Structure 1
Amino acid sequence: MASKLSKRGAGRTFAHKPKAAVSPDMNVTPLVDVVLVLLIIFMVLAPVVNAHYVGRLPPPDDKDEQLAEANPDNKPLVLRVTERELGGAEVEPVFEVGNIELELADAPDRLGRLVAGRPDKVIYVDAADSTDYGYVLQAMSFAKDAEDVVNQLVREKAVDAGQDAASLATLRVTAVLVTKEIPVD
């Protein structure tokens, strides 16, 4: 009798049940969550990325107008540094943009106004090998001062447009010391 029970029980214990079909559905909830978060991030950043605060400012006088005409935006802005002999052993620096000589007192202001409307904000400083290095450093400092002028002009324009000037990003003006002559024409 024991053998009959064990045969019946054995057959039932190892019987194969039909397996449930595997569902190929993907759980899209995490995907939708990630896409929505990215959408929100891009919506928040879109106005910041598209904001342009700098426009070509009209030159206020004839000297600035001549500078702007001599240096169109599609050509590099080159500040040339040379020396002029005054007599005897004395020399003075000469700073030229194009064929226009800049006066020492207003060189940073004029460079700042000139570079404000340019998309690249780069001033190339070119000097002859014989030019005193101090004059070259002075030209490089003009670029830093021009950066301050550009940012002040942008802040003034933002205030005139009713924007908060404190929330504006600071624009950088880059001065590049060139080792080979840049053709201006």
Structure 2
Amino acid sequence: MYPRRPVVVKPQSGLQSDINVTPLVDVVLVLLIIFMVVTPLMRGELRLQIPPSGEVEYPPSNEGAPGLVRLSADGRLFLEGEPVSEADYVPRLRAFLAARPRGERELFFQPDAQASYARLIQALDGAKAAGAEAMGIGVDPP
């Protein structure tokens, strides 16, 4: 019948040594998008209200004036000039603020220049937990 044709077998190609970077680029772009979305959410923000220029005058009876919390260089707290222990800080503040009407539950913090920043933040957190509606921080000018 017909003559048989010879079967031609092609040799296998060698190993491919090129790196396929497309999946790598895809992963990097996805991570970039994730970080771009998440980064603004991770910023810790502290709302500040800048006081008006000039000094605020309070009535002579000291009614309506914010409570004063002092922080010494060694980390001790004083509420209206009286020393307060760590355990009594939040309960004393809560009682102090509860005696004031709503809208006047303000505290003014005066840390020593050498006081620990972390200790000041703890004092501010305790005041917020005690129910302070507004807080201010005062420092002596250099």
TM-score (norm 1): 0.38
By percentage of residues, which structure has more helix? 1
Larger radius of gyration: 1
TM-score (norm 2): 0.49
